[in-house]
Amino acid sequence: MSLLNIQNVLLKAEKPLFWVGAFTMASLVLWLIYKLLSGFRIWVLGNEQLINPKVGKWAVVTGATDGIGKSYAEELARRGFAIVLISRSQDKLVDVATALEEQFKVETQTIAVDFGRTDIYHKIEAGLAGLEIGVLVNNVGVCYPYPEYYNHIADLDSFITNMMNVNIASVCHMTRLVLPRMIERSKGVILNMSSASGMYPVPLLTLYSATKAFVDFFSRGLQEEYRDRGIIIQSVLPFFVATKMAGIRKPTMDKPTPGRYVAAQLATVGLQSQTNGYFPHAVMGWVSTSLIPSSVATVLAAKLNRLQRTRYLNKMIARAQQADGLKTE
C-alpha cells in the first residue's frame, strides 16, 4: 500500500476516531462525577436519620459486651432504642445493660447464650417473643488466636465447629428469628458483620476468611430477595478496628475506635448494601479489590500473616523459656 493510500485511510478514520475518543472521555468524566457525588452522598451527607425507633422499638445486638458490639448497643441506645443484649457472659451482660439504662434511660433485656452451640435458639426465640424489633446487629464472631496453617490449628475439629456455629449459623438463625416480623411490618434493618477478610481469600486465616465471605454473600443475596419488602439487609466489611479481638490498643486514622466506626457505619445504612462502613476503610477496600488483583492481594496477605505467625510463635517460645528459667532458679 502506497504512502498516499495510507494517508487517505487515516484521513477517513480521523473523524470516527475523534468521536470514539470524545465519547470515551465524556464517559470517564461522567463516571468520575457520579462516583464523586455518590461518595459525597455516602461519606459526607450520610443517612444519619434512618436508624431510629420508627423502624421498631427494639434493637438486638449479638456479641454485645465488648468491642464493636458494645459500641452498637451504646449508639443505638443513644438514638432511643430499647436494647436486647445477647452474649455469653451474664455478668458482662448485666454490667452493659445497667450502664445503658443509667446513661440513656432505655429499657434493656439480656439473653446469655454461647453461640458456639446450636441448641440455643429456642431460648433466644422465647426472649424475643412479642418484641417489635427494628434493628438486628449480627455482630458476634470469633477469629484465629494468631495466623496459622489450617492443619496446624490446635483441636481442629472443635475449632471448625465453633467457628462455623458462631460466624455462620448465628447469622442465619438470628435472621430467621427476626425477619418474618419485619416483613409483616414492612420495615426493619439487619446489619451483618462480615470483614474485609471476606473480600478475598486470606491464607493462614483461611477458615475465618471463608466464613466472613459467606456472611457477605448471604447478606447481599437476602437484600435482593427482600428489597421490595421494606427491609434493609446490609453487609458490613470493616478492616482493622481498635478492639480486643483485633489486638489493637491504640486507635489511628485507619484503625478507629469501635465507637467512631459504628457512628460512621450507621450513616451508610440505606445507601450501600455492601459497605466497609468507614471512609478510610472504603478507600482501602477499593484499592485492594479494584486496583490490586485478587491473586496478588491473597499472596500479600499470606506473606503478612506468615510474618505475624513467626512473631507470635517466637514470642510464645521466649515466654516459655523465661518461665522455665524462673522455675529452675
CATH code, 162 = 3.40.50.720
In a domain, 116, yes or no: yes
Q: What is the mean pLDDT of residues 60-81?
A: 97
User: Is residue 250 in a domain?
Assistant: yes
Would residue 262 count as lying in a domain? yes
pLDDT of residue 319: 86
Q: How many domains does the structure of the chain reveal? A: 1
Position 156 in a domain: yes
Share of residues in the chain with pLDDT > 90 (%): 74
3-state SS of the chain?
CCHHHHHHHHHHHHHHHHHHHHHHHHHHHHHHHHHHHHHHHHHHHCCCCCCCHHHCCEEEEECCCCHHHHHHHHHHHHCCCEEEEEECCHHHHHHHHHHHHHHHCCCEEEEECCCCCCCCHHHHHHHHCCCCEEEEEECCCCCCCCCCCHHHCCCHHHHHHHHHHHHHHHHHHHHHHHHHHHHHHCCEEEEEECCHHHCCCCCCCHHHHHHHHHHHHHHHHHHHHHHHHCEEEEEECCCCCCCCCCCCCCCCCCCCCHHHHHHHHHCCCCCCCEECCCHHHHHHHHHHHHHCCHHHHHHHHHHHHHHHHHHHHHHHHHHHHHHHHHHHC
pLDDT at 150 over 90: yes
Instruction: Decide if 208 is catalytic.
Output: yes
Per-residue pLDDT tens digits for 83-123: 999 999 999 999 999 999 999 999 999 999 999 999 999 99
Q: Which domain holds residue 191?
A: 49-291
**Model's pTM, two decimal places?**
0.88
Structural domain contains residue 3:
no
- The catalytically annotated residue of 208, 261, 278, 312 is 208
pLDDT in the model for residue 33: 79
Confirm whether 16 is domain-assigned. Answer: no
Provide the pLDDT for residue 13: 60
Q: Is the pLDDT of residue 201 over 90?
A: yes
**Has residue 54 been placed in a domain?**
yes
Is residue 239 in a domain? yes
Find the range with the poorest average confidence among 9-18, 95-104, 151-160, 210-219: 9-18
What is the pLDDT averaged over residues 25-48?
Answer: 76
